[in-house]
Structure 1
Amino acid sequence: MASTHRPLPTLAELLDSASVVSLPLTTRFRGVDAREAVVLRGPEGATEFSPFVEYDDVESLAWLAGAIDFGWVAAPAALRDRVHVNATLPAVAPGEVEAVLARYPGCRTIKVKVAERGQTLDDDLARVREARALLGSEGRIRLDANGGWNVDEAEHAIHALAEFDLEYVEQPCASVDDLWEIRQRVKYMGIPVAADESVRKVDDPLDVARRGAADILVIKAQPLGGIHSALDIVGRAGLPVVVSSALDTSVGIAMGAHLAASIPNLEYDCGLATAALLAADVTAEPLVPVDGAIDVRRPVLDESLVQQVRAAAPRDMWWRDRLTRVYGLLVELSESTGRHAG
């Protein structure tokens, strides 16, 4: 997964360096009110292991490889020291939109969550309409359906939402076949289709590009095995990319920022401002947007803040058990490909 041949850290190193944290959110997101993560202390600095709790051990394997890549391997040379970012608007009611967007000062792009389970297209229309009114005519609006529509629903929704001058629609449908189909149906409208889950939740992250099922790839460092692995995918895909996060702590955001900083042609604002959705963080200097951008830097853990957000004992044990199981899978993979545990 990672491009380095450096030996893996031992399991004891990882567990000894680990703190399990639970960060409250300012707004309910992905159905949760708090984000759990494991922050690790590596020789290169703080790193993060934070696959969503519903992911199984096999899917979490790449996330651990990504955490080790960032904490134990030097990041590539940065081509820029700041990265422009988009605001992320959860599936909130129109009356809550302004308060959410106020947490993203200077952001010229808004990613609006749509196709939320339990909501309707009318809810999406109202949210996007309010976002456009607050952003003005010159800002950019992109949609993220997280694969929540079938092809017919996606076509209907994109037609209904097109009046708001969409930059692109992210993962309107779940499968690569359906992405290809919806891309053909809306191509005449000039609205690009971006792929996220069809890159990071499949065995072959290049399949969606190879099959012409997307115009843009959404790239996330941790679930793709780390910065070096993600860079390899970017280079081979030959498509424009948006570097995004997975509701990480500022440490995980920094991993994405270092990835974005190392991509030569970065045409789109990146989805790396989600630390603004956290009501607490693990550093005194969180990576939140200033003038629509975040700095490319490694946050230093504030141990007093880490103590304040430590997860309860049962959750701490759950995450340590999970890390141990996933590490075992990583060792098996490493042995089969010629790497070895340290």
Structure 2
Amino acid sequence: MTLPPLADIVARAHVVALPLTTRFRGVDVREALLIDGPEGWTEFSPFTEYDDAEAATWLAAALDFGWHPQPAPVRTEIPVNATMPAVPASAVADVLARFDGCRTTKVKVAERGQTLADDVARVRAVRTAMGPEGRIRLDANGAWNVDEAEHAIHALAAFDLEYVEQPCATVDELAEVRRRVKYMGIPIAADESVRKAADPLAVARAGAADLLVIKAQPLGGVRRALDLVAEAGLPAVVSSALDTSIGLSMGLALAGALPSLDYDCGLGTASLLAADVVADPLRPRSGTLPVGRVEPDAALLARHAAPAPRRDWWLARLERCHALLTARE
């Protein structure tokens, strides 16, 4: 991919800071750099703690989405799941109310400072709210060791789990957990072991997961993610990284272009934002989202513009990541 000049990107860039409805991943405000590309709006929003080498891959995705036509979709709507942060059980119903019509909920577990009892209470509350027909998947973000994962999955299996995402950090650990819990019939999904790995196909080769959780930005764009899924030969769930509606449209383009889509996708996270940059945010309606590009509202861009020091921080990061991509070429 030929990179657009840095000056052209900067001239098209807008840095925004959006408040969250619920603290998530340790933050209360989500920052993002949005770009008005020739093919449409795009987003560069790696989390602030990521180093430049990792963030540069997110920039490659943003530039591909903003400067090049995307693969043709094979579906026009994407079923999506609700996302349950590590909130107290008493707050579960209020969170679910933001996800209209979603039949699946991904529940965050293994939160630092919480206990397995907290997880059990949260998952029980989700099951009660959704009823027996609802689907529940867990996401531990690699926080358990193998023994902790086996114990926790056993404790939570009574709530009829669809799958458990990234119970442990390493590929070897995932493979061992998968072996230990196979008798329960609970699939294991890999997320960080794909998007943050030097070799994203190692999970598939090791037989360490039953399915992949993929995100467009961290994998370098829609085309690159599609190639990865095809080579891995495993079912895929498309998820988001707490994007604005601009970034979610990239994830929807990926989900729309997958040859098969067997699971609800984690692209409903705009419901966790207290504000967005588009007049009609990409929040679930009857449990689905439409495939297609969206454009921000000028007044909302201005209202949620990041303070000058944060804009400068993001532009400096953009410059460093652009230099890394240039060197890779």
TM-score calculated relative to the size of structure 1: 0.96
After superposition, what is the alpha-carbon deviation per residue over 1:248-295, rounded to whole angstroms, capped at 9, x for unaligned? Answer: 000000000000000111000000000010011111011110000001
| Residue 309 of structure 1: aligned partner | 304
Alpha-carbon separation, structure 1, partners of 2:215 and 2:129: 28
Q: Counterpart of 1:222 in 2: which secondary structure? A: coil
1:293 aligned partner, one-letter code: T
> 1:303: Cα distance to partner?
1.1
Instruction: Report matched runs for 1:253-292 at 5 Å.
Output: 253-292=248-287
Instruction: Report matched runs for 1:148-297 at 5 Å.
Output: 148-297=143-292
8 A Cα contact 1:286 1:299, kept in partner: no
Q: Does 1:16 align with 2:11?
A: yes
Q: Counterpart of 1:39 in 2: which secondary structure? A: strand
After superposition, what is the alpha-carbon deviation per residue over 1:216-269, rounded to whole angstroms, capped at 9, x for unaligned? Answer: 100100000000100110110100000000000000000000000001110000
Alpha-carbon separation, structure 2, partners of 1:98 and 1:49: 32
Q: Does 1:332 align with 2:327?
A: yes
| Residue 64 of structure 1: aligned partner | 59
Alpha-carbon separation, structure 1, partners of 2:326 and 2:4: 10
Alpha-carbon separation, structure 1, partners of 2:20 and 2:287: 21
8 A Cα contact 1:44 1:74, kept in partner: yes
Q: Counterpart of 1:38 in 2: which secondary structure? A: strand
1:73 aligned partner, one-letter code: H
Q: Counterpart of 1:224 in 2: which secondary structure? A: coil
Q: Counterpart of 1:178 in 2: which secondary structure? A: helix
Alpha-carbon separation, structure 1, partners of 2:64 and 2:157: 40
> 1:12: Cα distance to partner?
0.5
| Residue 339 of structure 1: aligned partner | none
Alpha-carbon separation, structure 1, partners of 2:79 and 2:325: 34
Alpha-carbon separation, structure 2, partners of 1:186 and 1:241: 20
> 1:8: Cα distance to partner?
1.1
Percentage identity across aligned positions? 65
1:70 aligned partner, one-letter code: F
Alpha-carbon separation, structure 1, partners of 2:174 and 2:298: 44
**Count of equivalent residues:** 329
Instruction: Report matched runs for 1:24-43 at 5 Å.
Output: 24-43=19-38
Alpha-carbon separation, structure 2, partners of 1:211 and 1:73: 34
**Structure 1 segments of 4+ aligned residues over 6 angstroms from their partners:** none
Alpha-carbon separation, structure 2, partners of 1:301 and 1:22: 14
Alpha-carbon separation, structure 1, partners of 2:118 and 2:35: 40
Unaligned 5+ residue runs, structure 2? Answer: none
CA RMSD of superposed structures (Å): 0.6
Instruction: Report matched runs for 1:53-202 at 5 Å.
Output: 53-202=48-197
1:219 aligned partner, one-letter code: I
Unaligned 5+ residue runs, structure 1? Answer: 335-342
Alpha-carbon separation, structure 2, partners of 1:94 and 1:156: 21
Q: Counterpart of 1:36 in 2: which secondary structure? A: strand
Q: Counterpart of 2:218 in 1: which secondary structure? A: helix
> 1:300: Cα distance to partner?
1.0
> 1:310: Cα distance to partner?
0.6
Alpha-carbon separation, structure 2, partners of 1:332 and 1:285: 39
